[in-house]
Amino acid sequence: MRDGVSWSRSALGSDLRRRGSLVTESAQPRAREAEPRQGRPVLLTVDDDQSVSRAVARDLRRRYGNEYRILRADSGSDALAAIREVVLRGEHVAAILADYRMPGMNGIDFLERAMDLVPHARRALLTAYADTDAAIAAINVVDVDHYLLKPWEPPEEKLYPVVDDLLAAWQREGRTPEHKIKILGHPWSVASYEVRDFLARNLVPYRWYNVDEPEGQRLLAAVGVEAEQIPVVVTSGGAPLVQPSLSQVADAVGLTTAAAEEFYDVVIVGGGPAGLGAAVYAASEGLKTLIVERAAAGGQAGQSSRIENYLGFPDGVSGGQLTDRARRQALRFGAELIMARSAVGLEIKGPARRIVFDDDSSVLSHAVVLASGVSYRQLAASGADELVGRGVYYGSASTQAAACAGDHVIIVGGANSAGQAAVFFSAHAAKVTMAVRGDSLERSMSAYLIEQIEAIDNIVVRTNTRVEKCEGLDHLQCVTLIDTRDDSVEVVDAGHLFVFIGAAPLTDWLPAELLRDQAGFVRTGPDLVVDGERPPGWDLDRDPYLLEASIPGVFVAGDVRSQSVKRVASAVGEGALAVTLVHRYLAE
């Protein structure tokens, strides 16, 4: 986008024009007013202070006038009326800048209502320094993307970078929601579930078609394939992909799956909180940074329906929202992210480290940060493996929320992730049963979450309980539960079971010289020095740094590290600390 003065006057309803409460900025002769405007997205500013409103519109007009239509309104109610008319015209609202202090309807209330009309529009709050707390509250309550302090002079430094970020995010995720990816599949097809879950976790909009229903059958016939060949992914351009791999799906929807360079300062394996934390600090400090993620940015934390004990979010935040912000922040600083790609090898190449990927490609780097996280341990119940993706799921599958309506859902596990899932699914399912092996929740779950669970009528907590068997024909239909106190058995009807038990580190791909503990977690720092002896093969005249593994230049952060604290905040902190140690290593 460039500064420009190509403008046309609003053609909104005459009632709004008469009141003069809504204005379209124009810098062209009046003869240009009748030109068609379809396809020009809207930038909307809302402020009851006329001088501020004109100043915002003036600055936006200078930079974005060639590509966007600027609307300004004097109140939240007038702005909502304008948004409704824009939506009815089939046009798009790209971004909204709203003042916090407005009579009748403040900026937070307005943005919350605007989200219902234009959920893809990006949102920013204009606020005075004294109202910073309100801006932080807005981030929590209505998922505001940014807040701007008044005054924002000079706009080149304080306004335009924020609006550029808003528009870039909107262009990526919200410009054409009507042209969604189509997935043709069956609700109980494992491959269909994997594609749906992959796209949902990567915030790619899609429309689902059941091939057992007429519309799905019609589209399947149009593609020219049989029902046995599902899933079929039809791209927004109309190209069908039959039984695609996740990397093929990623390529088709515009996700990056291959590294752009051959050499980086640091390669971060894993895009969870630790990896994203490392990426933000590494990229912002000028390191050429590559993040490699096998599934979706956010890892297990990204699947959490609600995180309520993360610093700075007093009203809680979904894992998806939190990690998407971190992903966008890392990319804004220049980090490169490749998706649907697994690391399968780590090699020492003199002073460099080589990461090998599952497609046999590879990259070199000065340093590596291992932040590959963990996976949930497999459920030792008869029949569970055969029903994965067909009623049995590991982690929280938000794509299955609607299918749980009126059903009995079983949550296996007693830690925070299990509790968050129970609260989430209780809003959809008729009943949620938590099967907990321990004798209480207090040993493994935060107090605030226990209180929430106790207050929800349709959640039942069964302690001293294990899952013995999962049964069903084409999908899960019943589950056998054992009370370990007296070995009593109960078979319960259930269509969905979500597993949150333990954590298995994703470290099988690492070389033998990278030392791990008995559970497979990577040992680091002082844990590698035994009786004053450094690890075998260590060739530096110093002990390993705090988060450094037994291979120099390889650092570990987050859940995959031995004796780490399994919390989002500590993972982010370790990611940041790892980058500090990377700098120290590179300076040697």
pLDDT at 91: 77
Mark whether 458 and 541 lie in a shared domain: no
Q: Which of 138, 173, 208 is the last residue of a domain?
A: 173
Could you give the number of structural domains in the chain?
4
Q: Does residue 7 lie within any of the structural domains?
A: no
133/158: higher pLDDT: 158
What digits encode the pLDDT tens for the residues 263-294? 999 999 999 999 999 999 999 999 999 999 99
What digits encode the pLDDT tens for the residues 415-442? 998 999 999 999 999 999 999 999 999 9
pLDDT at 17: 33
Q: Indicate the range of 22-36, 404-418, 524-538 predicted with least confidence.
A: 22-36
Say how far apart CA 267 and CA 283 lie, in whole Å: 11
Share of the chain above pLDDT 90, in %: 53
**Where does 260-402 have alpha helices with state H?**
273-284, 299-302, 319-332
- Mean pLDDT for the stretch of residues 368-390: 92
Say how far apart CA 287 and CA 272 lie, in whole Å: 19
- Mean pLDDT for the stretch of residues 40-62: 88
Cis amide bond preceding 231, omega within 30 = yes
CB 498 within 8 A of CB 491: no
pLDDT at 89: 65
Mark whether 221 and 297 lie in a shared domain: no
In degrees and rounded to multiples of 5, residue 195 shows phi and psi of -65, -45
The per-residue pLDDT of the chain, averaged, comes to 85
- Mean pLDDT for the stretch of residues 358-375: 95
pLDDT at 306: 75
Q: Does residue 535 lie within any of the structural domains?
A: yes
What digits encode the pLDDT tens for the residues 172-212? 775 544 446 889 999 889 999 999 989 888 878 888 889 99
Say how far apart CA 327 and CA 552 lie, in whole Å: 28
Amino acid making up residue 375: S
Side-chain half-sphere exposure of 150, counting CA atoms within 13 A: 19
- Quick check: helix, strand or coil at residue 581? helix
pLDDT at 174: 56
* CATH code of the domain containing 101: 3.40.50.2300
pLDDT at 9: 25
Mark whether 145 and 18 lie in a shared domain: yes
Say how far apart CA 413 and CA 436 lie, in whole Å: 5
Mark whether 268 and 288 lie in a shared domain: yes
Q: Does residue 293 lie within any of the structural domains?
A: yes
Mark whether 124 and 192 lie in a shared domain: no
Say how far apart CA 222 and CA 178 lie, in whole Å: 20
| Full DSSP string of 448-507 | HHHHHHHH-TTEEEE-SEEEEEEE-SSS--EEEEEETTTTEEEEEE-SEEEE----EES-
Mark whether 75 and 168 lie in a shared domain: yes
pLDDT at 374: 87
Share of the chain above pLDDT 70, in %: 88
Mark whether 273 and 296 lie in a shared domain: yes
Q: Does residue 257 lie within any of the structural domains?
A: no
Q: Which of 26, 110, 118, 101 is nearest to 65 (CA)?
A: 26
Cis amide bond preceding 205, omega within 30 = no
Mark whether 277 and 308 lie in a shared domain: yes
Mark whether 513 and 468 lie in a shared domain: no
Mark whether 442 and 296 lie in a shared domain: no
* CATH code of the domain containing 190: 3.40.30.10
Q: Collect all residues with Cβ–Cβ distance below 8 Å to 325 and sequence separation of at least 6.
A: none
100/9: higher pLDDT: 100
Q: Does residue 356 lie within any of the structural domains?
A: yes
- Mean pLDDT for the stretch of residues 334-355: 96
- Mean pLDDT for the stretch of residues 572-586: 97
pLDDT band at 137 (very low <50, low <70, confident <90, very high): low
Amino acid making up residue 351: P
Mark whether 224 and 280 lie in a shared domain: no
309/427: higher pLDDT: 427
Rg of the Cα trace of the chain?
Answer: 26
What are the tokens at 519? 């559970």
Residue with tokens 């006057």: 9
Q: Indicate the range of 229-243, 395-409, 435-449, 563-577 predicted with least confidence.
A: 395-409
CB 554 within 8 A of CB 520: no
Q: Does residue 369 lie within any of the structural domains?
A: yes
Q: How many residues does the chain have?
A: 588
The pTM (predicted TM-score) of the whole model is 0.70
Q: Collect all residues with Cβ–Cβ distance below 8 Å to 70 and sequence separation of at least 6.
A: 7, 24, 25, 42, 43, 45, 57, 60, 61, 64
What are the tokens at 416? 């925070």
- Angle ∠(528,531,534) on CA atoms, nearest 5: 40
What digits encode the pLDDT tens for the residues 437-471? 999 999 889 999 999 999 999 999 999 999 999 99
Signed CA dihedral, 386, 391, 394, 400: sign only: positive
| Full DSSP string of 27-46 | -S-GGGTTS--TT--EEEEE
pLDDT at 324: 86
Mark whether 541 and 492 lie in a shared domain: no
Q: Which of 365, 473, 475, 479 is nearest to 411 (CA)?
A: 479
Q: Does residue 255 lie within any of the structural domains?
A: no
Q: Indicate the range of 142-156, 174-188, 394-408, 488-502 predicted with least confidence.
A: 174-188
Amino acid making up residue 194: E
pLDDT at 103: 82
What digits encode the pLDDT tens for the residues 550-562? 999 999 999 999 9
Q: Which of 244, 277, 299 is the last residue of a domain?
A: 244
* CATH code of the domain containing 511: 3.50.50.60
CB 549 within 8 A of CB 524: yes
Say how far apart CA 544 and CA 550 lie, in whole Å: 7
Q: Does residue 253 lie within any of the structural domains?
A: no
Q: Residue 222: in which H helix or E strand, if any? A: helix 214-223
Domain span holding position 492: 385-499
Q: Which of 118, 148, 173 is the last residue of a domain?
A: 173
